[in-house]
Amino acid sequence: MTNYDLEERTKNFSLRVIDICRRLPINIINRKLIDQLVRSASSIGANYREANESDTKKDFKNKIRISKKEARETIYWLELLINNNRSFEKEIFTLLDESRQLMKILASIYLKV
């Protein structure tokens, strides 16, 4: 997988998260979960892009680590969101699967550096 492919994949993931968040009912719980979810989900791709612009191997590895941590955090927020939005369960599970895949890919990149 080239850098561009993963950059595009993480961007598309962020856009899918934003899309579902726009459609979720707004209540006191969802508002807090959505805020955290959008931050962590969009941070995956942002940090991955920063990694690709790194000047040193150490900086690259650090940004990949952060991106991986954001993917793990995104999984957490998605899991919490499911409990409050059962009617969106199927869509959220799809996002959970993608977040888990991204986390594994980033972990693999991290270990290879």
Residue-range domain boundaries for the chain: 3-112
pLDDT band per the 50, 70, 90 thresholds, residue 1: very low
pTM, two decimals, is 0.93
Percent of the chain with pLDDT over 90: 96
pLDDT in tens, 33-75: 999 999 999 999 999 999 999 999 999 999 999 999 999 999 9
Q: For position 38, what pLDDT does the model report?
A: 98
Residue entry with tokens 């270990």: 111
Alpha helices (H) along 24-56: 28-52
Closest CA to 40 of 87, 83, 99, 89: 99
Q: Out of 3.40.1020.10, 3.30.565.10, 1.10.340.30, 1.20.1440.60, which CATH number does the structure's domain 3-112 have?
A: 1.20.1440.60
> Distance (Å, rounded) from C-alpha 48 to C-alpha 20?
22
